[in-house]
């Protein structure tokens, strides 16, 4: 299977920890030069340090993907340092959500759309021209198990991830004609900082409804992204690859992780 990315440059957003960090390390391990983005500069620098200590090439660029001007500057700096972005992984995300009936004016719907949807649109907008020019590129959007059934009690997050899946499907049809593959990876529940606050009750219900009886590890999500980034997947387009262990839906009324 062709997984060599030694001639490619990848941009991974939200790569300072969790799934994003594992994805950046995976792509670097497959030979890619990696632009490591995170909102927190220290976290991005830590990921770069791990890549370079292993013999890879990477640069860290902190930026808020919901701010288009910051994304434009990030992409320009990354391309100047490492060359045209061949692989874009839209991983940056937020976990701000709660029951709809408890909603207030805290802007959680807007935040989820700003980061998940608009953050991805900004990153695609400022990398796609280079991909079109060379007639090749990979865009991989990190969606969620929430796009399988919706999870309930978190409509803001569901809306953010469903909208990102819609963007993925639509752009795959348009950009595929330019040699750009647009796909998604949908993780189930993963042992990341985002799930650290789950109660024992929540974790028990999730694992009881998972055939493997456990959460995923970030490296398992990263390997799926690595496959979609590699030449081995060049005929895959518009696909959402689920990495959830066959997770069955949970009854969101019976758990409380907040």
Q: CA gyration radius for the chain?
A: 17
The span from the CA of 30 to the CA of 25, in Å, is: 9
Catalytic annotation present for 136: no
Nearest Cα to Cα of residue 86 among 12, 169, 167: 12
How many other β-carbons are positioned within 10 Å of the β-carbon of residue 41? 13
Question: How many H helices and E strands in the chain?
Answer: 10, 7
Which of 93, 83, 185, 92 lies closest to 127, judged by CA?
83
**Torsion of Cα atoms, 116 then 119 then 120 then 125, to 10°:** 160
End-to-end CA separation in angstroms for the chain: 43
Matching residue, tokens 């959402």: 240
| 208, two tokens | 């009881």
User: Which candidate in 136, 157, 162, 255 is catalytic?
Assistant: 157
The kind and range of the H/E element at 163 are helix 155-175
CA 85 to chain centre: 16
Nearest partner of 152 among 114, 222, 100, 205, judged by Cα: 100
| Tokens 């830590």, located at residue | 46
Catalytic residues: 157
């Amino acid at each position: 299977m062709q997984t060599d990315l030694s001639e490619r440059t990848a941009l991974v957003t939200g790569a300072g920890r969790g799934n994003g960090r594992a994805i950046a390390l995976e792509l670097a391990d497959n030979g890619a030069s990696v632009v490591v983005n995170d909102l927190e500069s220290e976290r991005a620098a830590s990921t770069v340090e791990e890549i370079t200590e292993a013999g890879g090439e990477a640069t860290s660029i902190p930026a808020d993907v919901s701010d288009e001007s910051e994304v434009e500057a990030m992409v320009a700096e990354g391309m100047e340092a490492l060359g045209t972005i061949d692989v874009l992984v839209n991983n940056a995300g937020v976990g701000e959500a709660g029951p709809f009936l408890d909603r207030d004016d805290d802007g959680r719907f807007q935040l989820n759309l700003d980061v998940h949807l608009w953050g991805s649109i900004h990153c695609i907008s400022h990398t796609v021209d280079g991909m079109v020019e060379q007639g090749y590129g990979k865009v991989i959007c990190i969606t969620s198990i929430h796009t399988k059934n919706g999870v309930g009690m978190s409509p803001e997050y569901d809306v953010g991830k469903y909208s990102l899946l819609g963007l993925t499907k639509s752009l795959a049809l348009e950009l595929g004609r330019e040699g750009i593959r647009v796909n998604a990876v949908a993780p189930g529940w993963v042992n990341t900082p985002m799930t650290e606050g789950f109660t024992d009750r929540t974790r028990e219900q999730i694992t009881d409804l998972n055939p493997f009886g456990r959460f995923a590890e970030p490296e398992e999500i990263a390997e799926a992204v690595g496959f979609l980034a590699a030449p081995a997947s060049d005929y895959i387009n518009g696909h959402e690859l689920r990495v959830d262990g066959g997770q069955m839906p949970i009854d969101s009324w019976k758990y409380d992780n907040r």
